[in-house]
Structure 1
Amino acid sequence: MSKEQTSAVKQPYVKKSLTSTRTRASISTLLERLETYRNVASIRDVRQLETALEHKDRLSCVFLLTGSIGVIKGYVDLFRKHEIPVFVHVEKIGGLSYDQPGLDYLANAIKPDGIITTKIQVVKKAQKLGLLTIQRFFLIDSEGLDNIAQSLDQAQPDVIEIMPARIPEVLGKVRTMTELPIISGGLLTERRHAKECLKYGATAVSSSSTSMWKEAFNLTHV
């Protein structure tokens, strides 16, 4: 499909262009990896760090959902050394504030590729600092689904994460709302769960189950 044809497709929300060249380049790399590997390691325990590295050739990126302000830079540096995009969930890191000073410190001292957050204002602040942004949504009822389009228009994240993954048919509805990459995660422990998510429109899946990290979810093997 040509660019002209693509732009003619009606979408309730389309990600607006950013001015930061650093961010655009990082987005390009992330999108390529999401579409190639389709598998994200969501790390909830420090003991999972080495396991994620063992499967680095199958992973699009890693999400850090564990640690504290005293150790998180070491975790980030570990994955950056291996050229694996790394995202910090700012609401999960002990001692790390997600107000403006906290985000300044994250961007300038810890230096992840980006953040994960549920909060619109945090997305906006992080983008101004050149960080990639993944906005996480928990769909527990129809109201949550209805609010996605409005939230995306306000926050304009780079990627969205839809949870839980065990409602794959809802991903089809979310896909009609946005052209953004969609990661689906939560309660995802088996390959068949991932296949369902990818079938219904997810770009990639995320899981804290280490057995999922060794799976191949490229387009030819879904």
Structure 2
Amino acid sequence: MLGNNFIIIPSIRSMKDFEHALSAESKYVFLSEIHIGNLKVMVEKCHSSNKLVVVNIELIGGFSADQVGLKLLKSFYNVDAVLSSNAMKINIAKSLGFKTVQRFFLMDSRSFDSTLKSLQTTKNDAVEILPGPIAPQFIDAIKKVRNVPMIAGGFVSTKDMVKELYKAGFSGVTSSTRDLWKLKLTTK
């Protein structure tokens, strides 16, 4: 899903950042906190800027992330990919033809064990690990269970942190920090 180059994906939490994301280096835009009423126009603008749209189905205001809602995202809103922490919803989205990113919050050893179990049964195309600052210590164990592109997100706010995640082997990061969206990394 992500390709071979490390990417910094704009994560849009506010409409004031949306236009800036359209000029970012990444071919993806993560719409993290949006309202269903704005989604169609935002997707159209992303597509006209040659961006693929990934929506966090758990953070779309006015939307139900059931099978009918997911079908609407595909057929009416023309969303390219979905992000969710719910394994069942990821599998449903995958069966509907979406590219999928499964999000994991690593808070303690129990959440890490749950992550490893979920990876065995979920049909995701990529994985996002949060929070970003601790993600490098888990990448090898996760890749042993499921070797898919991995991105880190959450608290990714400095160039040094992006470089550390790049060196750790991540395929990319998600960040709401605009200053990072045009950053290019060339060496590991």
Q: Judge conservation of contact 1:158–1:180 (CA < 8 Å) in 2.
A: yes
Q: 2:128 aligns with which of 147, 161, 168?
A: 161
User: After superposition, what is the alpha-carbon deviation per residue over 1:86-130, rounded to whole angstroms, capped at 9, x for unaligned?
Assistant: 101111011111011111111110011110001011111111111
User: After superposition, what is the alpha-carbon deviation per residue over 1:49-94, rounded to whole angstroms, capped at 9, x for unaligned?
Assistant: 1111122xx2141100122111111111111112211101111011
Q: Whole-Å Cα distance in 1 between the matches of residues 18 and 42 of structure 2?
A: 8
Asked which structure has the greater CA Rg, the reply is 1
Q: Whole-Å Cα distance in 2 between the matches of residues 138 and 216 of structure 1?
A: 26
User: Percent same amino acid among aligned pairs?
Assistant: 33
Q: For 1:145, what is the secondary structure of its paired residue?
A: helix
Q: Whole-Å Cα distance in 2 between the matches of residues 85 and 77 of structure 1?
A: 10
The aligned counterpart of 1:190 is 158
Q: Judge conservation of contact 2:126–2:151 (CA < 8 Å) in 1.
A: yes
- Give the TM-score taking structure 1 as reference length: 0.80
- Tell me whether 1:31 sits opposite 2:11 in the alignment: no
Q: For 1:59, what is the secondary structure of its paired residue?
A: coil
Q: Judge conservation of contact 1:186–1:206 (CA < 8 Å) in 2.
A: yes
Which is richer in strand? Answer: 2
Code of the residue aligned with 2:153 in structure 1: it is G
For the aligned residue pairs, the C-alpha RMSD in angstroms reads: 1.4
Q: How many residues align?
A: 187
- Give the TM-score taking structure 2 as reference length: 0.93
Code of the residue aligned with 1:193 in structure 2: it is M
Residue segments in structure 2 that go unaligned for 5+ positions in a row: none
The aligned counterpart of 2:85 is 118
Q: Whole-Å Cα distance in 1 between the matches of residues 111 and 6 of structure 2?
A: 29
Q: Taking structure 1 as reference, are residues 221 and 196 closer, same or farther at Cα in structure 2, changes over 3 Å only?
A: same
Q: 1:140 aligns with which of 81, 99, 107?
A: 107
Residue segments in structure 1 that go unaligned for 5+ positions in a row: 1-29
The aligned counterpart of 2:62 is 95
The aligned counterpart of 1:26 is none
Q: Judge conservation of contact 2:6–2:170 (CA < 8 Å) in 1.
A: no
